[in-house]
């Protein structure tokens, strides 16, 4: 879960910021096309392609299984390519909206450097929807990613749930549902707690 979310942000965050700062340019269009392709690509196809090229042909990573850091890279990349496209589109949209706000134009009018305006005034507010999405991803990944677990041979909670459904193992199914629900609640709670640190206007009584 942590590695998957990390790869999503590693791919999507810089791409979205770069596209927003160069809105309407060729780079912006190429990044959005790439994001759309990443979102649209089936995870099992991406996973099998990464396994064939990086593990089988080039031998850079293990072909499957778990137990070491090297085993985490390809599953996390598979999740990150799809999720990174969502994050890139969301960050771009949010940052473009914030950059058009009055307080950002005021900061620019005062002569502040562009980098300081983006980092200090715009980016923090643009991160609010991204934090919400990270909270949802925590619940989704903790609930299991069946396809990715199947491709890479990971005995994850998604595989456990699928096997339990096939043999109608009610206690295991109930346990998976409860764990998934708790993960979703925890992710949303964590996102809510982070909001005040990003936007001082948000205060909880």
Give per-residue pLDDT as tens, 87-140: 998 999 988 888 888 878 887 788 778 777 887 778 878 888 888 888 888 877
Q: Which residue has the tokens 């549902």?
A: 177
Residue 115 has which token pair?
């980098």
How does pLDDT run across 15-57, given as a tens digit for each residue? 999 998 888 889 889 999 998 888 888 888 888 899 899 988 8
- Contact partners, residue 78, CB within 8 Å, separation at least 6: 43, 46, 47, 50, 148, 151, 152
Q: How many Å apart are CA 15 and CA 21, to the nearest integer?
A: 10
Across residues 162-182, what is the average pLDDT?
87
- Contact partners, residue 155, CB within 8 Å, separation at least 6: 66, 149
Fold that domain 2-198 belongs to in CATH: MetI-like fold (1.10.3720)
């Amino acid at each position: 879960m942590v590695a998957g979310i990390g790869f999503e942000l590693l791919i999507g965050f810089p791409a979205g910021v770069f596209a927003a700062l160069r809105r309407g340019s060729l780079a912006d269009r190429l990044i959005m096309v790439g994001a759309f392709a990443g979102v649209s690509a089936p995870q099992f196809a991406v996973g099998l392609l990464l396994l064939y090229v990086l593990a089988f042909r080039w031998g850079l990573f293990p072909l499957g299984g778990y137990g070491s850091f090297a085993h985490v890279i390809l599953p996390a990349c598979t999740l990150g390519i799809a999720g990174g496209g969502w994050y890139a589109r969301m960050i771009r949209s949010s940052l473009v909206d914030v950059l058009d706000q009055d307080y950002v134009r005021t900061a620019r009018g005062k002569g502040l450097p562009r980098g300081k305006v983006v980092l200090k005034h715009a980016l923090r507010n643009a991160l609010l929807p991204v934090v919400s999405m990270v909270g949802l991803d925590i619940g989704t990944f903790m609930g299991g990613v069946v396809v990715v677990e199947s491709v890479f041979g990971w005995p994850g909670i998604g595989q456990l749930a699928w096997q339990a459904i096939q043999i109608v193992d009610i206690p295991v199914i109930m346990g998976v549902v409860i764990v998934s629900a708790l993960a979703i609640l925890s992710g949303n709670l964590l996102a809510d707690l982070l909001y005040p640190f990003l936007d001082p206007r948000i205060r909880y009584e």
